[in-house]
Amino acid sequence: MKKYIVFWVERYLYEPNIFQRLLSFLFLPLTLIYCLIVWIKYKMTDTIDYGIDVVSIGNLSVGGSGKTPLTTALALKYENVAIVLRGYGRKTQGLHVVSNGHEILCDVESSGDEAMIYALKVPKAIVIVSEKREEGIKKAKEMGAKLVFLDDGYSKHHIKKLDLLIDVRSKNGFCLPSGPYREKIWSGKKVELLQEEIDFKRAVHIENETEKMALVTAIARPQRLDGFLPKVVSKHYFEDHHFFTKEELEEIMESSKAASLLVTFKDYVKIKDFGINISILDLDLDVEPRVYTLIDNYVKGDM
């Protein structure tokens, strides 16, 4: 039931049918109230300098947009960096240091899947999860970081930062609850919009490819993968951040008669120790030099 509801909501927000479109119009009064509250909150917020350079990679809509691979690509280019994020889907609360830049200090259930991706793919970065992003930034500074990458930090208007915003388009242009947008770019808010295929491009490769792969994934809007998929024997979608069990994956392999399960790296970090034959649909980004120039100029104080 939970999976059905999640996928229904994703369709409602991004690919609404006629009924869902009518429903979104009925919610417009609530949307106006929501937008007013968020705008007032923004206008009443004072910006605080936490004494360390912070670069936020965010987007305006709910759901996946490529923040994790972009943050990964950017963080790999710099020294003495930390990555701070909320840690959606983790089974813990509060602040946790996932990696100190030398070793991983917790398991994926404590960190959440996205934080574990950073810990594995950017091994020299400090990785911290915290609902209170400012506490994570303070901890990163205390641990010696010189630059913080803030995952999904646009709405944290109280934090002095460079806002890099991934431009995600939707057929539904409304804010919540009528549409997928959490906020708009408010007047007076300085951001740098980044567009896929202009500011960054995806490069996809498959590790351990087999002839009979069953796709299994728990990412937001999994249909985004369709343009990158090889031929697969079946597709199995779970709600975003779902923690798999070994038994359910073994059942998928048996029912599909698959030689391996094709998963994203976000899925891999949760199942890598299950002893199941895994193929990884992995993603790297080729980032245009202008994005690094934006960061460099910000760090030097030219922005």
Q: Please give the helix or strand (H or E) that residue 52 lies within, else none.
A: none
Structure tokens, 266:
């976000």
Percentages helix, strand, coil for the chain (3-state, rounded to 5) are 35, 25, 40
Question: Please, are residues 134 and 48 in contact by the beta-carbon 8 Å criterion?
Answer: yes
Q: What is the pTM of this model?
A: 0.92
Bond preceding residue 69 cis, omega within 30 of 0: no
First to last CA, the chain: 48
Q: For 271, left (φ over 0), alpha (ψ -120 to 50), or beta? A: alpha
- Quote the pLDDT of residue 170: 74
- Quote the pLDDT of residue 75: 97
Show pLDDT as tens, one digit a residue, over the chain (303 residues): 677 788 888 888 888 899 999 999 999 999 999 999 999 999 999 999 999 999 999 998 887 778 999 999 999 999 999 999 999 989 999 999 999 999 999 999 999 999 999 999 999 999 999 999 999 999 999 999 999 999 999 999 999 999 999 988 777 788 999 999 999 888 888 999 999 999 999 889 999 999 999 999 999 888 888 888 999 999 999 999 899 999 999 999 999 999 999 999 999 999 999 999 999 999 889 999 999 999 999 998 865
**Cα–Cα dist 106/119, whole Å:** 10
Fold type of domain 43-199+288-300: Rossmann fold (3.40.50)
**Cα–Cα dist 225/276, whole Å:** 22
19 class by beta-carbon count within 10 Å (0-12 exposed, 13-18 middle, 19+ buried): exposed
Comma-separated ranges of CATH 3.40.50 domains in the chain: 43-199+288-300, 202-285
**Cα–Cα dist 31/179, whole Å:** 8
Fold type of domain 202-285: Rossmann fold (3.40.50)
